[in-house]
Amino acid sequence: DVVMTQSPLSLPVTLGQPASISCRSSQSLVHSDGNTYLNWFHQRPGQSPRRLIYKVSNRDSGVPDRFSGSESGTDFTLKISRVEAEDVGVYYCMQGTHWPLTFGQGTRLEI
Amino acid sequence: EVQLLESGGGLVQPGGSLRLSCAASGLTFSTYAMTWVRQAPGKGLQWVSSISDSGANTYYADSVKGRLTISRDNSKDTLYLQMNTLRAEDTAVYYCAKGGQLREIDYWGQGTLVTVSS
């Protein structure tokens, strides 16, 4: 199975400041169709997850442009340019390239 | 507006069975792959099973293979998860989710809690 390793697991941030979450995969996530199926999800306390980013760097509809995704080989990064109060919660990366689908452990973002 | 509404969760004894349902609305259900993901209390997300839009293809996590069965009824816009021989470690909130293709998850339901305990 592909292991997704997130860091840090806890991220204290200041409102208005940038934040960055890393996700490393244990093997390449480039699919034979040429796509890289790496997603980022955000889960607020007591809510179901919401997808923010798909295929490494594509923002979902309605996701603020302060969120961005990037990659360098098997290292993936989610960046928030200026943290807002509504950004608190847990962020998960997930790979969809290989079966079984696997998630990172989650990164808790706290103000 | 897309809605995925899970039901069927509850308290069940170890070794027991349960069937979860996920009723979809606001989308052409038969054109989407569907997935079950679970989250144990206070823990992270774990993929459980996925099914193609037609139902012809299914995938399972090793931890549930042979005990849990995913299925769908496109005439009823409903996804199912038949859960047999349940164990304490199956205790979790079970989310249904949709995706454009099998390996994608783009929208989640609110979840239903399954508790396996004597």
A 54-93 residues inside an 8 A Cβ radius of B: 54, 60, 90, 92
**Which one, of B46, B61, B42, B59, lies nearest residue B102 by Cα?**
B59
Instruction: Find the closest chain B residue to A100 by CA distance.
Output: B61
Given B61, B106, B111, which is nearest A54 (Cβ)?
B106
Q: What is the pLDDT along chain A (111 residues), one digit of tens a residue?
A: 999 999 999 999 999 999 999 999 999 999 999 999 999 999 999 999 999 999 999 999 999 999 999 999 999 999 999 999 999 999 999 999 999 999 999 999 999
Q: Is B112 on the interface with A (CB under 8 A)?
A: no
**Mean pLDDT within B8-36:** 97
% residues pLDDT > 70 (chain B): 100
Spatial separation of the C-alpha atoms in residues A63 and A45, rounded to whole Å: 18
User: What is the overall mean pLDDT for chain A?
Assistant: 97
Q: What is the DSSP string of B27-57?
A: S-GGGSEEEEEEE-TT--EEEEEEE-SSS--
Identify the pLDDT of residue B100: 85
pLDDT band at B102 (very low <50, low <70, confident <90, very high): confident
Question: Phi and psi dihedrals of A85, rounded to 5?
Answer: -60, -35
Given B59, B61, B95, which is nearest A48 (Cβ)?
B95
Given A39, A97, A104, which is nearest B105 (Cβ)?
A39
Contact B109 A48 (CB under 8 A): yes
Q: Which residues of B touch A31 (CB under 8 A)?
A: 103
Identify the pLDDT of residue B39: 98
Identify the pLDDT of residue B96: 98
A111 touches A88 (CB < 8 A) = yes
Q: Is B45 on the interface with A (CB under 8 A)?
A: yes
**Alpha helix (H) residue ranges in A1-111:** none
| B13-17 contact pairs (CB < 8 A, 24+) | B13/B86, B13/B116, B13/B117, B13/B118, B14/B86, B14/B87, B14/B88, B14/B116, B14/B117, B14/B118, B15/B85, B15/B86, B16/B86, B16/B116, B17/B82, B17/B83, B17/B84, B17/B85, B17/B86
Can you state the percent helix, strand and coil of chain A, rounding each to 5? 5, 50, 50
